[in-house]
């Protein structure tokens, strides 16, 4: 019987990780079970999707019950209970005065959010950030600036998108006094508005509240607030891409709560239904109302099974998973600090909640991609799955499920202690 690896020829996409010797047979809780009999502690969570672990029982039960009731009727045509209930629930999470539109993937939600900003302001231009990742559609590719491979041969992208610097303070080329955010990250907008794009032609500033693919970069709160103030000054929509940060990842339901800065429009996906495909554009009611009939839609949006799973997901998140994730994030961070303090190669350890990144560098401070690859490979040899990220692929990211136990974190830490000793000391 050929293995999954041997049968992989017919399967796209050609991802580097597809060179792994095994495939996945099934998954449960914090673990992946491979087709060659291994049990792997999964600190990748399906790229920040399975925030409640794999196959969270109440989510699976809610999805099964909805399968028997109705799989699809199309939200372009009808209202139905689970879509309405979920919209009410998510709008409620924002406070008052928000509405929700559901689609399927993160890219679709970001695309929808930017379309909505253009529609509401009737302006053409958009500002995004270097280091960003917003998805794979042509508009999202046009907004993405973390890796030129994502854009190669797709040029002739959506016009009038301008890129500003995201404040990555570790390794910043700008002078930094006492750990405060260099002034260039603030003043750059004056320059952009003076030389490149009139602020009154800008529909949206699109930002990840913590940069994901770009290296788990946490911006200073005062800078996020400054961007909010600019948007207010010029009537620009502040769009948060919470696709990766949303649904508990940073220690609150959304990262905007962690920063204390509220967007006009938010895109979310990934953890929303703990693995079933669903995404949402969440916007201020008066902005969403600019989406009149025909302005936006999609056949598969608000799939009833996904909506039922999302309602059960939010129940679990509010019922203790977010709190557990916050505590386990602090515990894990302390453990990582204790293990890595003696290694100069660990240049920066940062994050919010259970969204933790470890940036690895050479003695001269330049990115150490090789060590990053070694750490993730050696961890996997010991049955701990980790992902990397960063524009230079030199950040190890830790995205355990929010339901992770202290024992599982301790186990991961004991593996990492060995891995660091072997990769750096031997």
Q: Is position 304 an interface residue for ligand PLP (rule: CB under 6 A)?
A: no
For ligand PLP, the closer of residues 121 and 211 by Cβ is 211
Q: Which residue has the tokens 């990492």?
A: 416
For ligand PLP, the closer of residues 105 and 368 by Cβ is 105
| Binding letters toward ligand PLP, positions 57-96, x by CB under 6 A | ----------------------------------------
Q: Which residue has the tokens 């203790």?
A: 320
For ligand PLP, the closer of residues 302 and 416 by Cβ is 302
Report the 10 Å Cβ neighbour count for 400: 26
- In the list 30, 50, 105, 146, the residue contacting ligand PLP (rule: CB under 6 A) is 105
Q: Which whole-number Å values give the CA distances from 9 to 12, 96, 316, 374, 390, in the listed order?
A: 8, 50, 39, 27, 29
Round to whole Å and give the CA distance between 138 and 135: 9
Q: Which two tokens stand for residue 28?
A: 């449960």
Peptide bond before residue 13 is cis, with ω within 30 degrees of 0: yes
Q: Is position 103 an interface residue for ligand PLP (rule: CB under 6 A)?
A: no
For ligand PLP, the closer of residues 211 and 368 by Cβ is 211
Q: Which stretch binds ligand PLP (CB under 6 A): 15-23, 100-108, 228-236, 379-387?
A: 100-108
Report the 10 Å Cβ neighbour count for 410: 13
For ligand PLP, the closer of residues 135 and 263 by Cβ is 135
For ligand PLP, the closer of residues 199 and 212 by Cβ is 212
For ligand PLP, the closer of residues 106 and 390 by Cβ is 106
Q: Is position 291 an interface residue for ligand PLP (rule: CB under 6 A)?
A: no
Round to whole Å and give the CA distance between 390 and 359: 8
Burial group, residue 318, by CB count within 10 angstroms (0-12, 13-18, 19+):
middle
Q: Is position 111 an interface residue for ligand PLP (rule: CB under 6 A)?
A: no
Q: Is position 206 an interface residue for ligand PLP (rule: CB under 6 A)?
A: no
- In the list 54, 118, 123, 134, the residue contacting ligand PLP (rule: CB under 6 A) is 134
Q: What are phi and psi of 163, to 5 degrees?
A: -110, 130
Q: Which two tokens stand for residue 115?
A: 């379309």
For ligand PLP, the closer of residues 107 and 423 by Cβ is 107
Instruction: Give DSSP secondary structure letters for 111-142.
Output: HHHHHHHHHHHT--EEEEETT----SSHHHHH
- Give min distance, CB of 255 to ligand PLP, in A: 10
| Binding letters toward ligand PLP, positions 233-262, x by CB under 6 A | --------x-xx------------------
For ligand PLP, the closer of residues 134 and 228 by Cβ is 134
Q: Is position 404 an interface residue for ligand PLP (rule: CB under 6 A)?
A: no
Q: Which whole-number Å values give the CA distances from 295 to 102, 116, 205, 253, 288, in the listed order?
A: 14, 9, 21, 29, 11
Closest CA to 258 of 233, 221, 290: 221
Q: Is position 302 an interface residue for ligand PLP (rule: CB under 6 A)?
A: no
Q: Is position 193 an interface residue for ligand PLP (rule: CB under 6 A)?
A: no
| Binding letters toward ligand PLP, positions 16-55, x by CB under 6 A | -------------------------------x--------
Could you tell me which residues are beta bridge partners of residue 283? 99, 265
Could you tell me which residues are beta bridge partners of residue 206? 239
Q: In what order do the strands lie in the sheet with 279-284?
A: 98-103, 279-284, 265-268, 237-241, 202-207, 125-129, 161-164
- Give min distance, CB of 418 to ligand PLP, in A: 30
- In the list 110, 125, 203, 404, the residue contacting ligand PLP (rule: CB under 6 A) is 110
Closest CA to 49 of 212, 186, 166: 212
Q: Is position 135 an interface residue for ligand PLP (rule: CB under 6 A)?
A: yes
- Give min distance, CB of 158 to ligand PLP, in A: 15
Burial group, residue 298, by CB count within 10 angstroms (0-12, 13-18, 19+):
middle
Q: Is position 133 an interface residue for ligand PLP (rule: CB under 6 A)?
A: yes
Q: Is position 266 an interface residue for ligand PLP (rule: CB under 6 A)?
A: no
Could you tell me which residues are beta bridge partners of residue 284? 98
CB 215 within 8 A of CB 184: no
Q: Is position 112 an interface residue for ligand PLP (rule: CB under 6 A)?
A: no
For ligand PLP, the closer of residues 34 and 103 by Cβ is 103
Residue whose beta carbon is closest to ligand PLP: 106
Contacts with ligand PLP by CB under 6 A: the residue count is: 15
Q: Which stretch binds ligand PLP (CB under 6 A): 82-90, 127-135, 250-258, 358-366?
A: 127-135
Round to whole Å and give the CA distance between 377 and 386: 8
Query: Residue numbers of the site for ligand PLP (CB under 6 A)?
Result: 47, 105-107, 110, 133-135, 208, 212-213, 241, 243-244, 269
């Amino acid at each position: 019987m050929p293995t999954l690896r041997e049968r992989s020829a017919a399967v796209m996409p050609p991802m580097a990780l597809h060179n792994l010797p095994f495939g996945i047979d099934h998954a449960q809780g914090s673990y992946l079970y491979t087709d060659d009999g291994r049990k792997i502690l999964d600190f990748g969570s399906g790229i920040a999707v399975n925030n409640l672990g794999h196959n969270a029982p109440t989510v699976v039960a809610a999805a099964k019950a909805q399968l028997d009731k109705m799989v699809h009727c199309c939200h372009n045509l009808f209202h139905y209970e689970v879509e309405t209930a979920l919209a009410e629930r998510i709008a409620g999470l924002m406070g008052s005065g928000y509405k929700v539109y559901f689609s399927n993937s993160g890219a679709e939600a970001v695309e929808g959010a930017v379309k909505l900003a253009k529609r509401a302001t009737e302006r053409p231009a958009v500002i995004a950030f270097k280091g960003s990742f917003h998805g794979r559609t042509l508009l999202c590719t046009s907004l993405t600036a973390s890796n030129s491979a994502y854009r190669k041969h797709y040029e002739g992208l959506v016009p009038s998108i301008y890129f500003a610097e995201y404040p990555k303070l570790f390794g910043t080329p700008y002078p930094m006094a006492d750990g405060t955010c260099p002034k260039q990250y603030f003043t750059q907008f004056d320059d952009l508005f003076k030389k490149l794009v009139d602020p009154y032609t800008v529909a949206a500033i699109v930002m990840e509240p913590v940069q994901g693919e770009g290296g788990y970069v946490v911006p200073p709160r005062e800078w996020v607030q400054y961007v909010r103030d600019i948007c207010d000054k010029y009537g620009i929509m502040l769009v948060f891409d919470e696709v990766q940060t949303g649904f508990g990842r940073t220690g609150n339901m959304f990262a905007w709560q962690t920063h204390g800065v509220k967007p006009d429009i938010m895109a979310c996906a990934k953890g929303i239904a703990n693995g079933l495909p669903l995404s949402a554009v969440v916007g201020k009611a008066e902005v969403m109302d600019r989406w009149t009939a025909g302005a936006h839609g999609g056949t598969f949006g608000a799939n009833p099974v996904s909506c039922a799973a999302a309602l059960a997901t939010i129940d679990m998140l509010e019922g203790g998973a977010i709190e557990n994730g916050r505590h386990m994030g602090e515990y894990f961070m302390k453990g990582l600090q204790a293990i890595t303090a003696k290694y100069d190669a660990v240049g920066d350890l940062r994050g919010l909640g259970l969204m933790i990144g470890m940036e690895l560098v050479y003695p001269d401070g330049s990115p150490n991609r090789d060590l990053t690859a070694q750490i993730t490979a050696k961890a996997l040899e010991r049955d701990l799955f980790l992902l990397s990220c960063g524009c230079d692929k030199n950040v190890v990211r830790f995205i355990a499920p929010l339901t992770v136990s202290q024992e599982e974190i301790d186990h991961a830490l004991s593996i990492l202690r060995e891995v660091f000793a072997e990769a750096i000391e031997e």
